Amino acid sequence: MEVIICRDAAEMGQIAARHIVSVLRASARPVLGVATGSTPLSTYAALAELQAAGRADLSGISAFALDEYVGLPADDERSYAATIRHTVTEQLGLDPDHVHVPDGTATDLVAGCQAYEDAIAAAGGVDVQILGIGANGHIGFNEPTSSLSSRTRIKTLAPRTRADNQRFFAADETVPTHCLTQGLGTIMDARHLVLLASGTAKAEALAAAVEGPVSAMCPASVLQFHRHALVLADEDAASALKLSDYYRHVRDNQPQGMRIDTL
C-alpha cells in the first residue's frame, strides 16, 4: 500500500487524476470504477481539467459505480445514478450507455446484482477503482462485518452511514435503509485501487484501514491484501496515522522513474 499525505483536496484530486489517467492509458479497454460522496469530487474536477488541457481523453472509457440505494430510481436526484450522471458522466463527457450503476429499483434485486457482476466481467474488469471511506471504515456500502470476499449484493445500511448521508436528503425525508453495493471481493478484483480520505471524521477509520489488523470490522483494511492500492489523505484524515513521517519520507525519496504523481 502506498500512502500519500496531501496538502489539500486540490492536490489530492490532481495526484489521483494523474494516476488514474496513466492506468487507463495503458488499458486496451479502459474501465474506471467510480464512487459517489464528497471526497472524489476534486478528482473528477482534476480529470476534467486534464481533458480540457488535452492531456487525457476519457470519452471512450466505461465506468461502473460502487453502489446505489434500494428504491430510488435513476431520475431521483438523490439516487447515486443521478449523482454519477452529474459528477462523472456529464463532467467528463462519458457515453451514458457506458456508465453503469446498480439498479435499486429492479424487480429481482438478487438477479440484478449478479447481472452487475456479469457486466463488469464482460467489460474486462475494472482497471482502476476510486474509493471513499466511511467514518466506520466502509468502502462502497460494505459496512463493518461485511465478508472480505463478498460480491455485489443487498445490504442494510448502518445507522452511522444513514446519519452521515442525511445531508443529501431533506429534513423530513429519511435515508433508505437498504442498498446494493459491490462486495469487497468485487472491489479487490479491480487492478488498481485509489482510496481517498479527507477530514478528521475519517482519521480513525483511515488509521485502522492502513495500519490496523485486516478485519471485517474495518472493511477498508482489506486493501492491505491488494497489490496496487494507493491511499491519498489530507492532513486531517492522516492525523491518526502512526507512520506519517515514514509516508512523507517515502514520497520524498521515490526514484524519479517510479513517481506515480507525474503524468
Residues forming the active site: 67, 136, 138, 143
CB nearer ligand PGA, residue 103 or residue 143: 143
Contact 181/140 with Cβ under 8 angstroms?
A: yes
DSSP 8-state symbol, 92: H
Contact 188/197 with Cβ under 8 angstroms?
A: no
**# residues contacting ligand PGA (CB under 6 A):** 7
* Identified binder of ligand PGA from the candidate list 8, 26, 38, 249, rule CB under 6 A: 38
CB nearer ligand PGA, residue 30 or residue 140: 140
Contact 169/151 with Cβ under 8 angstroms?
A: no
Site for ligand PGA in 126-185 (CB under 6 A): 132-134, 138
CB nearer ligand PGA, residue 14 or residue 36: 36
Rounded CA separation 62/127 (Å): 10
Provide, rounded to whole angstroms, the least separation between the CB of residue 48 and ligand PGA: 18
* Identified binder of ligand PGA from the candidate list 13, 30, 33, 37, rule CB under 6 A: 37
- Using CB under 6 A as the binding rule, whether residue 39 contacts ligand PGA is answered as yes
Rounded CA separation 224/195 (Å): 12
CB nearer ligand PGA, residue 89 or residue 165: 165
Provide, rounded to whole angstroms, the least separation between the CB of residue 117 and ligand PGA: 20
**242 Cβ contact list (under 8 Å, min separation 6):** 207, 211
Residue number with the smallest Cβ distance to ligand PGA: 37
Contact 132/209 with Cβ under 8 angstroms?
A: no
Site for ligand PGA in 82-121 (CB under 6 A): none
Nearest alpha carbon to residue 23 among 182, 229, 197, 252 = 229
Residues that bind ligand PGA (CB under 6 A): 37-39, 132-134, 138
